[in-house]
Structure 1
């Protein structure tokens, strides 16, 4: 009995979802054709435009801040390499060696502290600021659907009101042969039946209208209050963010200037004790001047500490194996940031006579991983592999997404999501039904268990998920 009851509930839910989608689709078509009026709110539309602009600006600021942090990390590694080089060439019997080593240690700690404070006071604050946008965006989309439901209920009630007037005129003067032939007492019963039926339909339509209006107005009032407040908050957020960055950078450069001055004093002291070995800087030819000879000094044996580093075109930095391991990073810092700081560039080979720097850069610019990972699964079929279609995926499967946040379904046609749930995305049966920012899909666990789309599929907000396949 419990199983039969569950099947009845499921069937009722499916029927309700189908009816609701059909009603919304019909209402949108009528509105586009100009046969039904659409409720407009210019003030709210302006708030939505401001919201989208604010989201775009915040996303760009977050991206640029991550790029800035990646650059700080790269500069830290470059500075660390330079100080390590100084420690290697600074001979043990030279005065000031311990002071130079201490300055190098303080230099490394200063870079670490600067990067960490940027993460804590700027990037994490930015992540928190942008974290409030997905929920509001989904509520805006849902408000749009509820507005369509309200307009549909309003038009249905108005049509019944118009039909009522026609029925009253018809009841007042029977026109059919059956009505004319019926006795007087029978005509009264017919009239009473028509009146009762009309009143019942009108009462039901009025109840649906009141319910749809209440749901829409509750969401509308909340958003009308939140959107202007969120829009105004951007000023204080931008001020605090850039003040924090500017203050941190100012203090960093002050402390770094002190360390550089201390290092300069150590080197001046070294120069005074070895004044007879002063190095004279001679003028160097420009980059465009032709070389005076093709002869170059022979490199020292491999492994020699005095080995001459390879000269790179355009002064490209040397790769660092530990570039991305030492510094803390934000939870939301993308993979490319670490690649900027610690990625391993392709090895440079020996140049043949006549080979240009441009051809060397072009030949080494394509990582092998691009070729190895080019094959992908699209719509359940492995591209480039010659394999057959995937039979364990729902019809029309497009790609997979994974929920990044919990989402509580507020309508019968929505999916209930928990963070970590994998959803198989499928197309809408009618593209007109798809609202912006919403996808149709079925949870992978439900599909593997039931294999029934009508029972398991539903819509969900795209911005609560992240594409994984």
Structure 2
């Protein structure tokens, strides 16, 4: 078995070597080559036909892939419309029906492209590789025939004729001629026949393709007109006021409860600018409809009110840079800024809370502070904004001052904030005492301990109470942040 395999391998190598030698001699002009102009034309036509068929098959496959993607996008769009289009709106059932019609149209169109266009085109293209192999084999057999013919001619021209070798060369030449002529005759029949099939095949493929496309386009146009009519009717119903929401005459007033202990140091009375009422009075403030402010009466004397204000101011003295603990009591949030998270483990907060139950205010009588409540003023600020201070120069410029009566309110500098040695445009610096995660694109997030450089609002008229504009020193990110989540340094 090994000898047989070795003999076949040697014979194959010898055959390839003989063909290579013959082609070199033909290319150099030292050996003639059998020429068949008719077959050469057949081969040129076949090559062009194969190239065009492969290109058409590739583009139809890509077209079908894109149609399936468009079908998926259309189906997703109608599903979203079905969820967005509320059941009580006019035409809800019609919208669902048209969505089903569109899905059926695209499904049928993709099936037609697959079964009636791409599948026959694939069968048409698959026959070219087999014929190409026959053409290549015919070329090799023609080289073998020319090689055997040249060997016989050389033996016949030799001075000493060897009849045995001449006879063997004649037999080999005859065998090569028979093999070559059999392939050549077969291709003479197949190539013209295949070439004539190009027009019927392409015409049939294009006919099924564009007929299916015309159907889906026409039916899709009808679906689009129906959907347009549904949307137009919905717009007309909306213009008539069919879907308008009933609005209440006025917002519901907030509930207000008075504190029970006027001597509590942690009383939030410092956050309200209401005047001191007579001792012993216990009346609730009324919500003014036009102004939107809430009045709270207090049962404290003027002396107690002053003491509470002094204690509250002292509790917001700036901490040294080395201290990272939050202030002893978290400031109540204003309406436009979030409330910092409570820390049950903070020893400063626990220490500030009174332990005597007789001095603690009744939880049921604590005033609601979800919105700024005043008696004579329109707005309140952070604790340090309640403290008056003189104009300060920041980096060579006068810091903008708060103005009222419709004028611009600039960013105030709290007491204790260091303004020396800061870059131009930086008012002062603050350190985060609570973690904050931004809730809008124009805000910044920060962790506890991060340092932020406070700068002026780009448009002072857009400044919101309780909010500052700053730049994080760690990332140079600029944005808004709640002031009561930080302390000045």
TM-score by length of 2: 0.48
Residue of structure 1 in register with 2:82 after alignment = 87
The corresponding residue for 2:172 is 208
CA–CA distance in structure 1, aligned partners of residues 3 and 36 of structure 2? 40
Contact kept, 8 Å, 1:157 with 1:206, in 2: the verdict is: yes
- CA deviations 1:207-247 (Å, max 9, x no partner) are 00000000001011111111111111111111111111110
**Cα distance, 1:71 vs structure 2:** 2.1
2:190 to 222, 226, 234: 226
Q: CA deviation at 1:145?
A: 0.8
| Aligned pairs for 1:72-151 within 5 A | 72-151=67-146
Residue 51 of structure 2 corresponds to residue 33 of structure 1: no
Please state if 1:21 is matched with 2:16.
yes
Question: Distance between the aligned counterparts of 1:278 and 1:131, measured in 2?
Answer: 63
Q: Name the CA shift for 1:161/1:78 in 2 (closer, same or farther; >3 Å).
A: same
- In the alignment, which residue of structure 2 is the partner of 1:176? none
Distance in 1 (alpha carbons) for counterparts of 2:42 and 2:62? 30
Moved more, 203-212 or 61-70: 61-70
Q: Which runs of 5+ in 2 are unaligned?
A: 244-438, 442-476, 479-489
How far apart in 2 are the matches of 1:277 and 1:90?
Answer: 17
Instruction: Say which SS state the counterpart of residue 30 (structure 2) adopts.
Output: coil
Instruction: Output the CA distance in 1 between the equivalents of 2:195 and 2:440.
Output: 66
SS at match of 2:197: helix
Aligned residue runs from structure 1 range 51-66, under 5 A: 51-66=46-61
**Compared with structure 1, are the counterparts of its residues 253 and 272 closer, same or farther at alpha carbon in structure 2 (3 Å cutoff)?**
same
Kindly state the Cα deviation for residue 298 of structure 1 after the two structures are TM-superposed: 6.0
Q: Which has the higher contact order (CA 8 A, sep 6+)?
A: 1
1:68 aligns with 2:63: yes
For the pair 1:236 / 2:200, whether they are aligned, the reply is yes
Pairwise CA RMSD:
2.3
The equivalent of 1:391 in structure 2 is: none
Structure 1 residue aligned with 2:239: 275
How many residue pairs are counted as aligned between the two chains?
248
The structure in which a higher percent of residues are helix is: 1
Report the Cα offset of residue 267 of structure 1: 3.1
Deviation of 1:162 after TM superposition, in Å, equals 1.8
Pick the structure with greater CA Rg: 2
Runs of 4+ in 1 over 6 A off after TM superposition: none
Equivalent of residue 162 in structure 1, options 153, 157, 165: 157
Counterpart contact for 1:271–1:278, Cα < 8 Å: no
1:263 corresponds to which of 209, 213, 227: 227
What are structure 1's unaligned runs of at least 5 residues?
Answer: 1-5, 168-194, 280-296, 300-351, 354-469
Aligned match for 1:254, one of 209, 218, 222: 218
Q: Which whole-Å deviations, capped at 9, do the CAs of 1:364-387 have from their partners, x for residues lacking one?
A: xxxxxxxxxxxxxxxxxxxxxxxx
Cα distance in 2 for partners of 1:253, 1:15 equals: 65
